[in-house]
Amino acid sequence: MLWWTTVVFGHTGETEGPRYRRIAADIERAVDTRTVAPGRRLPAERTLAAALCVSRGTVVRAFEELVERGVVERIHGSGTFVRPRPTLSPCEASAVETGEPEVSDSIDVSRPVPVDASHLPRIDWHVDPAEYGSGVHRHGLTRLRSALAHHLTCYLNLPTRPDQVIVTTGVAASLDSLLRVFSAGRRPVVVGAPMWPELCAVVAEHSAARIGVPADAAGIDPMVLRRILRRTTVPVVVLDATESGPSGRRTAASRLPRLAAAVEDRAVVAVEDLSALALEAASDPTREPTAAVSNRVTAIGDLGRLFWAGLGIGWIRAADPVRPLLVALAESGRPAVAAQIQAARILESLDAQWFAARRDHLARRVSHLRECLAQVLPSWTVEPSTCGDGVWVRLPVVDSSTFVHVAARLGVRVCAGRECSIDGSFREYLWMSAAAETDVLELAVDRLGAAWSAYTLRLAASV
């Protein structure tokens, strides 16, 4: 009853009118915000009346009003229960109450990739092996490297020749190869947080000394980076100027020359992830990456972020590809010839209009996701978007990881903020993609609401 009186009925003074209406309003508010889960039993009338210092008749009348509104239902001999919402199946309501993993059709919004390839232009997916012989080329197929060079030059404002491009199996493989070439195992790695979990895992594997660069409202601060580099011996710098943290936005264009100067003055090597830049550059054609300002910055990226994760195509754009890099890439393997040909065909069929339309489409999905979260989970704080395909959310808890596990059991997978950090920051955050269809996003948010209800009940029980 302590939880009911402090959490559910803590807003009674904010509602005007008779006491029974204020009690009914508090219960309905708790149901709407998923503080009280569908299927949960309300306290017995006499017990609740004693806890709230009102008569039993007042509580009875409040319950009757909630029955009329369809918020709760009375079951003779059992009690009064919150009615399940239409978007929650009986097994989901049971999972909320018991915490058992009963939801099997999981929705995955934890990855920054399109959910399928339906948004891509029509291409010929057929590949005839006879046309490509052995298909072995240490840099990647010439056709794909030419298409990538055109893509980087025209849509990322990074002038590139085909001989500067090396094809990989993904952005994680690109970073892995570069860190091996740069001997990161013997050098500290300075990271502009956040990074996606697979990249954090690569950095953790290659370096025992990892330093995060905090971001502010204008992104990565060149002065902070310069101070860190001044105190660090020959580090490797890994940056993402497009996604610079949940509480900020992309790094301001005015800061990029100063970031490049900090890297060049300390004679360090730097890697920049440009996987998401094409969508951002669609709204700002003058937007340049740091790699366009300094040849000491090696750019990497992943076509799965834009097109489809099933392609398995990443790339490295180096000012001058060196033999050790090619050897490292040979050890990590090459993409299949069919995947390289299909990626080249996709790149060749795109234009600036496609990127602009894709960004607008994702912006509408992000806006819809924000509205759903604000309606279902008003206690969560949705931060300003740092990219065009998802949202960062700050939870009113110290660490979101436990809640992420509860949400997974109830059928929705989101990314815990601490998984995107190498220094333990962003612990109270989670990230979720907005790339799915609107009805899928609505169901995902509804399940998050149910998971939050179950999670807060557990917190209350542990106090």
What DSSP string runs through 31-58? HHTTSS-TTPBPPPHHHHHHHHTS-HHH
Within a domain: residue 320? yes
Q: Are residues 258 and 371 in the same domain?
A: no
Q: Are residues 269 and 312 in the same domain?
A: yes
pLDDT above 60 (res 422): yes
**Torsion angle defined by CA atoms of residues 6, 7, 13 and 16, in that order, rounded to the nearest 10 degrees:** -140
pLDDT above 70 (res 98): no
pLDDT above 60 (res 389): yes
* Among 45-49, 220-224, 412-416, the range of highest mean pLDDT: 412-416
Q: Are residues 260 and 180 in the same domain?
A: yes
Within a domain: residue 53? yes
| H or E element in which residue 372 lies | helix 352-376
Ramachandran category for residue 17: left, alpha or beta (phi over 0 → left; psi -120 to 50 → alpha): left
Within a domain: residue 257? yes
Q: Are residues 169 and 274 in the same domain?
A: yes
Mean pLDDT, residues 183-208 taken together: 82
Q: Are residues 159 and 75 in the same domain?
A: no
Do residues 146 and 162 touch, judged by C-beta distance below 8 A? yes
Q: Are residues 192 and 325 in the same domain?
A: yes
Within a domain: residue 327? yes
How far apart are alpha carbons 26 and 198 in whole angstroms?
A: 43
Where does a domain end: 331, 349, 367?
A: 349
Range of the domain at 314: 129-349
In 51-192, the DSSP E strands lie at 72-75, 79-82, 107-108, 165-168, 189-192
Within a domain: residue 375? yes
Q: Any idea what the CATH number is for the domain that residue 22 is in?
A: 1.10.10.10
How far apart are alpha carbons 144 and 157 in whole angstroms?
A: 18
The pLDDT of residue 249? 66
Q: Any idea what the CATH number is for the domain that residue 196 is in?
A: 3.40.640.10
What's the domain count of the chain?
3
Q: Are residues 255 and 237 in the same domain?
A: yes
How far apart are alpha carbons 25 and 18 in whole angstroms?
A: 11
What is the DSSP secondary structure assignment for residue 379, as one 8-state letter?
T
How far apart are alpha carbons 359 and 385 in whole angstroms?
A: 13
Within a domain: residue 434? yes
Q: How confident is the model at residue 90 (pLDDT cuts 50, 70, 90)?
A: very low
**Torsion angle defined by CA atoms of residues 109, 113, 115 and 117, in that order, rounded to the nearest 10 degrees:** 180
Q: Are residues 35 and 177 in the same domain?
A: no
Q: Are residues 163 and 278 in the same domain?
A: yes
pLDDT above 60 (res 57): yes
The pLDDT of residue 25? 87
Q: Are residues 295 and 364 in the same domain?
A: no
pLDDT in tens, 104-132: 578 999 988 888 888 888 888 888 777 77
Do residues 449 and 376 touch, judged by C-beta distance below 8 A? yes
Is 0.85 topped by the overall pTM?
no
Write the single-letter amino acid at 121: P
Q: Are residues 149 and 291 in the same domain?
A: yes
pLDDT in tens, 289-299: 999 988 889 99
Residues in the chain, overall count? 463
How far apart are alpha carbons 263 and 41 in whole angstroms?
A: 60
pLDDT above 70 (res 38): yes
Q: Any idea what the CATH number is for the domain that residue 448 is in?
A: 3.90.1150.10
Q: What are phi and psi of 28, to 5 degrees?
A: -65, -40
Where does a domain end: 296, 321, 349?
A: 349
Q: Are residues 279 and 415 in the same domain?
A: no
pLDDT in tens, 312-366: 899 999 887 665 666 556 556 678 888 899 999 999 999 989 999 999 999 899 9
